[in-house]
Amino acid sequence: MSDDETLRVYDARAAEYADALGADPASNAALSAFIAALPKGGRVLDLGCGPGTWARRMVEAGLTVEGWDASEGMIAIASRVPGLTVRQARFEDLDAEAAYDGIWANFSLLHAPRADMPEHLARIARALRPGGVLHVGLKEGTGEARDSLGRFYAYYGLDEFRDLLRDAGLRPDGARQGADKGLDGTVAPWFTLSATKQPSSSAAAGQ
């Protein structure tokens, strides 16, 4: 979950954050690859949807999209996206089973404590259908810290997170790395990673 101090920052600066993201993510390679990997009209959960920037593009691509965010300010903006179903919710509210073809967690899970990540990934794995796709974006590094705005972050290495995905029953796929200036004005390294839910051993044996 995101803690209360982090949520207060996002509630207060939701409009500024939306402006910083921009309105047209169509050129984002990770988003394009995620959409291309899903079935036509597939069901997607944008987990930590922020102002709905990415979800808007998914809806336009013909996907059935739910946008969840713990920030009331972010949900207020995301609710303006035509065709997007929104819900104010935290990571631990995810209790669905085999409900989604894709889950997009783009720089949202990084606000959860490291100790909680295995549980969150297990919930995501349960919520995905066999063959379903997860996209996750994280800041690269070690440990946990707050930025100058007071937001809590947990940092990971790429290989470390691949192991966490495997432990949850997800197969890591393509990764991208870079560095960008965040809302706090500092440039930080990041990576995005996709993963696919593996069929259960019993299902695989029946094939």
Mean pLDDT lowest among 56-70, 73-87, 180-194: 180-194
User: What value does the mean pLDDT take over residues 23-31?
Assistant: 69
Q: What is the pLDDT of residues 89-129, one digit of tens each?
A: 999 999 999 999 999 999 999 999 999 999 999 999 999 99
Percent of the residues in the chain that have a pLDDT greater than 70, as a whole number: 92
Predicted pLDDT at 206: 42
User: What value does the mean pLDDT take over residues 167-192?
Assistant: 92
Provide the pLDDT confidence category of residue 204 given band limits of 50, 70 and 90. very low
Non-local (6+) Cβ contacts of 13 within 8 A are 73, 149, 183
Mean pLDDT lowest among 1-15, 34-48, 164-178: 1-15
Q: Which residues pair with 144 in a beta bridge?
A: 154
Predicted pLDDT at 152: 97
Mean pLDDT lowest among 22-26, 91-95, 156-160, 182-186: 22-26
Q: What is the pLDDT of residues 50-65, one digit of tens each?
A: 999 999 999 999 999 9
The full set of domains in the chain, from first to last, is 4-205 (3.40.50.150)
Pairing between β-strand 144-146 and β-strand 128-139 as defined by DSSP bridges: unpaired
- Mean residue pLDDT of the chain comes to 92
In sequence order, what DSSP letters do the residues of 32-67 get, joined into one string? HHHHHTSPTT-EEEEET-TTSHHHHHHHHTT-EEEE
Q: Is the confidence at residue 201, as pLDDT, over 90?
A: no
